[in-house]
Chains A and B, each alone.
Chain A
Amino acid sequence: MSADDPRQSLQRKTDLFLREFFEKGEMLVKELITENDRLRSQIDTQEEPPPPTKVNRDNMVELLMLRVAALERECDEIRRIAGNVEEESGGFRSRLDSLEYEHYHLASMFVAGSQFHSAVSFDEVLRTITEILLNFVGIGTFTVFMVDEERQILFPVAREGGSVEEVGEIVLTGDDAGPAQAALLALGRPWKNGDPFFQIGNEIINLPLVGGTRLVGVARLESFLEQKEGFAENDHQLLGLISEHAGIGIENAWVRAHAQEVPLQRQAIEHLVGA
């Protein structure tokens, strides 16, 4: 037969293929045997579980006691975990309450501020002061004074918890004026937490009502409502808001009351905005 006989060539190719096939098969079997040995040795090294104790009349109580002890340990662990969860949820509850309180306080500040800025008359400003002091801060008796800049006196205009007729004027300057009046005039800005209470008599605080730097009035807080024991931290912020925004509200109402009503005009508005 010649070398390029097609039958011989086919035979050679078949032999080559079969040799490669069996060589690969042999390698695969060897790898499987190696892996099998490795796994077998791993299983052998692992601790074998203790054989179950056979329950009989003699050891039954002892085995049950062991089981009870194990369950009690498990129970203690569950209690400990439950305790941690309760403790954590208590913290969240307290935090939620605190956030709700803060949320409500901010809402009250917003409502109070918007009421002052939407007031267009002196009556509305006075009513807002009354409602905030009475319903939000919890002041039962108070008097609102306005400043008479010509006579340098404070005169009463509204009172809650009594008649305004019972209240006299307060001099702001001169020999009859005390240090509280001088301090009120000198403040030149709205009251804020930490400022003095400007007490003249036994009132809680004389709260200055300020429009910018100008003292326009004073809210004299005389007593709390029955259920209110004293100021809370948030109340100080409300007092600060009243001091600033009620003063601006009073000034706005004063200007509005004395302004001549003129129609809104584009040319005049553009002049005001510098267009």
Chain B
Amino acid sequence: MSTSGERRFNALVVEDSPPMRKMIVFALSRVRELDVVEADDGVDALRRIAATKFDIIITDINMPILDGLKLVKRLRADENYKDVPIVIITTEGAAEDRQRALALGANAYITKPIQAQQVISLVREILNLD
């Protein structure tokens, strides 16, 4: 909770790989305006979304049960999430998945292996943080 009255943002990180998820959360912890919530996969993400309104969602594409593409599609069909920024995590080689995600309404992407500064800069830019 901010003590200075600055605006807080809720971020959701959806990633089935625990080390990858931990590293993204760690990187985002450097953005002091953010409160970060983790989800193990697309289904877990939908549960979290039902409980909290997020300002930005960062999701992997390849996940079991409900993958990142289906999650993007579900979010864009939801009135509460049709305009919320979505960043997808992908590999450089997965150009087709990336294009599909962007066509479904994702706003941006980051490629693996991820760099902390890349994630931080992108999120700050999307949320218009100084």
Contacts and interface: CB of A to CB of B under 8 A. Distances in A.
Q: Do A and B come from one complex?
A: yes
Interface of A: 97, 100-101, 104, 107-108, 111-112, 115, 128, 131-132, 134-138, 140, 225-228
A104 B26 contact: yes
Contacts of A131: 17-20
A226 B111 CA distance: 10
Counting from the closest, the 8 A-B pairs by CB-CB distance are A104-B116, A138-B113, A226-B92, A227-B92, A111-B22, A107-B26, A135-B20, A111-B19
Interface of B: 17-20, 22-23, 26-27, 30, 91-93, 111-117
B113 A225 contact: yes
Contacts of B30: 100
A115 B19 CA distance: 7
Contacts, number: 56
A136 B23 contact: yes
Given A135-B114, A226-B93, A227-B92, A107 B17 contact: no
A67 B74 CA distance: 69
Given A225-B93, A227-B92, A134 B112 contact: yes
Contacts of B115: 104
28 contacts: A97-B117, A100-B116, A100-B117, A104-B23, A104-B26, A104-B27, A107-B22, A107-B26, A108-B19, A108-B23, A111-B19, A111-B23, A131-B17, A131-B18, A131-B20, A132-B19, A134-B113, A135-B19, A135-B20, A135-B112, A135-B113, A137-B113, A138-B112, A140-B91, A225-B91, A226-B92, A226-B93, A227-B92
